[in-house]
Chain A
Amino acid sequence: MPKRKLDPLPSAAFQILLALAGEDLHGYGIMRNVAEQTDGRMRLGPGTLYSSIQTLLDAKLIEETEPREDAKLGHARRRYYRLTSAGRKLARSEAERLRDLLRVARSRKILRGEYV
């Protein structure tokens, strides 16, 4: 079931995987990272964020780590998420797919610039 939900990979899920590629993050951290890496175009709302997280957890693409405090955000303990190796693999293959797509777009002169 999760497989079907993630094939094709929804952009929210992909963005979450990318956000977690650098460091372990809690929900709000993921949201902020995603907003940053998309120049503010994608601001994940709580519903979308956590249902995507649930799906990714079910598919074992990410995992939960021990809850801990975020020094910048007060004393509340937060659940942190970490990318699994399967998640990293999937993110990479998705990135490769996009790269191939980009190549095609460039060859068709839809996008100017150098080959990646």
Chain B
Amino acid sequence: MSEKIYAWLLRLYPSRFREAYGEEARQLVRDRCRDEQGFLPRLRLWLDVLSDLALSLPQAYFHVRPELPSYAAHLHSDGGPAFVVLEEESLGPGAWFVGGVLGLAAVVSFSFLLNHGVKYVPLGALIHPARGSADHHPSSFAPRPPEPARDSQLPAGAPASGEQREMVATSSGPGNTAAQDAQENAFTPTDGSHALGQQGGQPQPATNAVSTLAGAGLDRAELERVVDGAAANLKEHYIDPVVAQKMADALVEHEKNGDDDRATDGRGFAELLTRQMREVSHDRHLEVLFSEAPLPEQARAEFHARYRKAMEQANCTFEPVKVLPHNIGYLKLNSFPDPSVCKAKAAAAMASLNDADAIVFDLRDNRGGYPGMVMLIAAYLFDHPVYIYTPRENTTSESWTRSPVPGSRLANKPVYVLTSGRTFSAAEHFSYNLKMLKRAKLVGETTGGATDVGVFHRIDDHFGIGIPETRAINPYLIPDWAGTGVEPDVKVKAGNALETAVKLAESKLQKK
């Protein structure tokens, strides 16, 4: 018995050793077994064998062979790399079997984890637990619904239009400018109604006859229609089909359990559904949206014409460049307009900043716009192409600014960006990237926290869903501004931001 066990243990030794001394070693154990009868001697024998195994096994493997130095010398003389086979023995069937089983297990468990175990959790959710306010604030998140009364746009990221999607936040704060008013008036729905939008976050009684839902209870059919629509859209469009299925199931489940009956109005219902989806996916880029005014079904061309006209009237929301004392250039940008419409206006504005010694971008009333315009303006601030992170898009050659811009002398001048809690979306995109690239100092308040990553899908006249369809890679190890906003470098009240930025710029310029 002992001898058999030892014969098995002997297989742990290198084949070279076994060939030379295997039989002898077995013989030795046999001899000892014969000579050392009884419990204690046998115990001692085994203690000896095991401690010997522990000591001599590593030695047997680390034992440098006499022939190895000659190989080493050979390698050195050649200078090139070479392989030396130290163990001539081929693999036994047992080794093949174990290797095969382990390999198969690795492949199976990896693919299982990929599909079930690993889900995308934004880093932000791990580091800072979701802020309550951010999760409930109706204007904090992704794609803004097209609300004809205010910033009225086509659904943010109108699908498959082939045109660049806009990043727009719709909530409106005080301090609207003439330009904005002009823009907004232009977007009043063609039927002449003038829904009041979501001012103050309270549902307003709508004058539009179609908006029967506003302020009133939701009927059962509407609830079911929205839940089914959201579920169907998730399954069709969400990046991760497994998670999409789970979310869809959860939505239907909640609806069946009567959880949705708590919602008293459309906005509350949309928020409820949003929470239900995020509970499953932890994806802050997902959102169900509610619009009091009916959502347009197909209005791209009409929208574009109106947009163009409004932009022309409003100087593309660029306010005239001012030159402040100490030759500080000041540009107030109230949106990042469509570059296909406003490229020339942007170029003119940037050209008039060219002679300034420092630049202040005022984005305190900027509620978003087009990533293309963000790229266009950012390009002036660098003397070489830089990567601009866009949460909505995968990296392409368009993700780098077209810097340097010929004739621009802005590349090395100090830049300050004024932000407020009403700075949204594309304006946050601009602020975030300049901050992460350490190209600008952000002065003011934490921004609104709207990434507008999702592509908007219309569910019915009043409900839509924003679903992220790409998973952009953020090169910075901190989460983007979804739900949390961009923290300014210098935190002051929005009202004092300009004054503070000017002081900073002055002291910086004086140091030079």
Contact = CB atoms under 8 A, between A and B. Distances in A.
B24 A50 contact: yes
Contact of A51 (B27, B56, B69): B56
Contacts of A2: 66
A58 interface: yes
Contacts of B17: 50-51, 54
A19 to B, nearest CB: 14
B59 interface: yes
Contacts of B64: 1
Interface centre among B20, B31, B60 (most CB of A within 10 A): B31
A28 B63 contact: no
B29 interface: yes
B27 A76 contact: yes
A17 interface: no
Interface string A34-68: 00000000011111111101100010000000000
A4 to B, nearest CB: 9
Given A1-B66, A79-B24, A45 B31 contact: no
A113 to B, nearest CB: 32
Contact of A73 (B20, B31, B52, B60): B31
Given A1-B64, A27-B24, A58-B66, A46 B57 contact: no
B71 to A, nearest CB: 12
Nearest to A43: B48
Nearest to A49: B28
B27 A47 contact: no
Contacts of B6: 46
Given A1-B64, A28-B32, A51-B60, A46 B25 contact: yes
Interface in B444-496: none
A80 to B, nearest CB: 11
Nearest to B55: A48
B51 interface: yes
B57 A47 contact: yes
Contacts, number: 69
A31 interface: yes
A71 to B, nearest CB: 14
Interface string B44-84: 10001101110111011001111011000000000000000
What is the interface residue range for chain B against chain A?
20 to 34
A28 B20 contact: no
Interface centre among A44, A45, A73 (most CB of B within 10 A): A45
A78 interface: yes
A54 B49 contact: no
A73 B65 CA distance: 34
A45 B48 contact: yes
Nearest to B44: A43
Nearest to B45: A43
Contact of A1 (B21, B29, B51, B69): B69
Interface string B243-283: 00000000000000000000000000000000000000000
B13 interface: yes
A28 B25 contact: no
B20 A47 contact: no
B38 to A, nearest CB: 16
B27 A45 contact: no
A31 B28 contact: yes
Given A45-B52, A47-B52, A50-B17, A28 B28 contact: yes
Given A50-B17, A79-B24, 7 more contacts: A45-B49, A46-B49, A47-B55, A47-B60, A49-B25, A49-B28, A53-B21
Interface of B: 6, 13, 17, 20-21, 24-25, 27-29, 31-32, 44, 48-49, 51-53, 55-57, 59-60, 63-66, 68-69
Interface of A: 1-2, 27-28, 31, 43-51, 53-54, 58, 73, 76, 78-79
27 contacts: A1-B64, A1-B66, A1-B69, A2-B66, A27-B25, A27-B27, A28-B28, A31-B28, A31-B32, A45-B48, A45-B49, A45-B51, A45-B52, A45-B56, A46-B6, A46-B21, A46-B29, A46-B49, A46-B52, A50-B20, A50-B21, A51-B59, A51-B60, A54-B17, A54-B20, A78-B24, A78-B27
